[in-house]
Amino acid sequence: MTKPQHPALAAFVTALAGRNMTRAAHVAVALGMSAMVLLTMDPAYEAGRRWIIALLWGCLVFFVVEWAVRVQQAARAHRAAAYLMSGRGLLDTLSGLAVPVALASGTEVRTAWLLAVLKVIPGVPGLRQLRRVLVVEARPLLSVLVLFLLVLFLGSVAEYALEHDEQPATFGTIPSALWWAVATLTTTGYGDVVPITPLGRVVAATVMISGLGVFGLWTGILATAFAAETRRDNFLKTWESVSRVPFFASLGPSTIADVAQMLRTIDLPPRAIVIRKGKPGDCMYFIASGEVEVDLPGKKVRLGEGAFFGEMALLGNNLRSADISTTGLSKLLVLDLVDFRVLMARPPDLGQSIDAEAKRRTMENRT
């Protein structure tokens, strides 16, 4: 039977494994990278050797603590082995052991600390998105890669045939011509190998234009797929938030999908001003989580999860009638004016509910 964990320790571990830990890890990565750069600069290293090494050790200790916290969190979910064998777990373990093992084996100090670069690869959500994009678009990307290699090889063969008599040192073999083809096709243009025959220059121009086309295709495929993946993730997050709002609970899945496409999500800290009295209103808000405080004449009203506000300015007078601010960390769903008018017409029940709630609040404010 396992010993129950102290509540304070459990709260501390949860806090460390949360958003604050992620932010601190990014700061530690930035500090560690700066120290590694200074490590390679002899004047800076000689002047601040102790401080640089101390900073590097501090970052390493932080990452070891982060690794231990993640292991404990995984163990509490009975997934410690899965975490340790995952790519993230192996990277965390390796980044914590690489430098001490290198130092213990006698590696020169500055060389050993270069192994800390392993921790420069953090768990960035964008990288996970990119990985999904590469998997989904693997076939189109491979097709363009085949085209790239085809142009590369044909260009090398053509330049070899046209230039090897004139420039045997640079175009004497096809492998030698490949260096020119790579530099030209990627439009790098080092200029160390240049065709001098008229036909050789025609081939060079063709390879350059082909290079622009090939990389344009790659860019288009990746940009389109990445944008689609981003929209998908945003839609799923918005769907989850919309489905938790009791006001939308009676809507069917298709209607929730329509609403989710109209709404955008914002996360606000405590005491953030959402609406200022007297300002023009161009959107309304639904509270997915958290709470807001409405500052009305002579009283303050609090609205919690599932409530909505800001619709008054969209139904009649477009000026805001009260100051509204968050009381804690809140997630709001924002509906712009144009989408608000569409939503009022579809579905009718939803528009009627918003109109009825607006009239009720108007009566309450007058009393």
CB atoms within 10 A of CB 287: 23
Query: Which residues neighbour 24 within 8 Å (Cβ) at sequence distance 6 or greater?
Result: 62
Q: How confident is the model at residue 154 (pLDDT cuts 50, 70, 90)?
A: very high
Question: DSSP letters of 75-87?
Answer: HHTT-HHHHHHSH
Considering 64, 98, 123, which residue would you say is the last residue of a domain? 123
Enter the pTM of the model.
0.58
148: in domain = yes
Among 361, 359, 282, smallest CA distance to 319 is for 282
Q: What is the mean pLDDT of residues 25-41?
A: 83
Quick one: 291 and 345 in the same domain? yes
244: in domain = no
Rounded CA-CA distance 149/283 in Å is 52
336: in domain = yes
**Does the pLDDT of residue 146 top 90, yes or no?**
yes
CB 67 within 8 A of CB 100: no
Q: Give the neighbor-by-neighbor strand order of the sheet with 299-303.
A: 273-275, 323-326, 292-296, 299-303
CB 28 within 8 A of CB 62: yes
**CA 33 to chain CA mean position, Å:** 20
CB 261 within 8 A of CB 270: no
Quick one: 351 and 266 in the same domain? yes
**What residue numbers bound the domain in which 325 lies?**
249-366
Q: How confident is the model at residue 194 (pLDDT cuts 50, 70, 90)?
A: confident
Q: What is the mean pLDDT of residues 45-60?
A: 87
Among 23, 97, 24, 31, smallest CA distance to 64 is for 97
| pLDDT digits 0-9 by tens, 99-125 | 888 888 888 888 888 887 777 655 555
Structure-token pair, residue 209: 């234009």
Quick one: 169 and 111 in the same domain? no
Quick one: 113 and 16 in the same domain? yes
pLDDT at 361: 63
| pLDDT digits 0-9 by tens, 276-291 | 888 888 888 888 888 9
Rounded CA-CA distance 95/85 in Å is 14
Rounded CA-CA distance 242/252 in Å is 12
**Does the pLDDT of residue 76 top 90, yes or no?**
no
Question: Distances in Å between the alpha carbon of 126 and those of 91, 133, 226?
Answer: 18, 10, 9
CA angle, residues 152, 156, 159, in degrees to nearest 5: 140
Quick one: 294 and 317 in the same domain? yes
Quick one: 52 and 144 in the same domain? no
CA angle, residues 116, 79, 122, in degrees to nearest 5: 25
pLDDT at 2: 43
CATH code of the domain containing 162: 1.10.287.70
Quick one: 168 and 194 in the same domain? yes
165: in domain = yes
133: in domain = no
If one counts the domains in the chain, the total is: 3
The mean predicted confidence, pLDDT, of the chain is 79
Percentage of the chain beyond pLDDT 90 is 7
Q: How confident is the model at residue 149 (pLDDT cuts 50, 70, 90)?
A: very high
Quick one: 64 and 147 in the same domain? no
Quick one: 84 and 171 in the same domain? no
Considering 123, 152, 175, which residue would you say is the last residue of a domain? 123
Rounded CA-CA distance 334/125 in Å is 24
Q: How confident is the model at residue 1 (pLDDT cuts 50, 70, 90)?
A: very low
Q: DSSP letter at 117? A: G
| pLDDT digits 0-9 by tens, 323-367 | 899 998 888 888 887 777 776 666 566 666 666 666 666 666 565
235: in domain = no
Q: What is the mean pLDDT of residues 185-197?
A: 76
**Does the pLDDT of residue 89 top 70, yes or no?**
yes
Quick one: 12 and 112 in the same domain? yes
Quick one: 355 and 253 in the same domain? yes
233: in domain = no
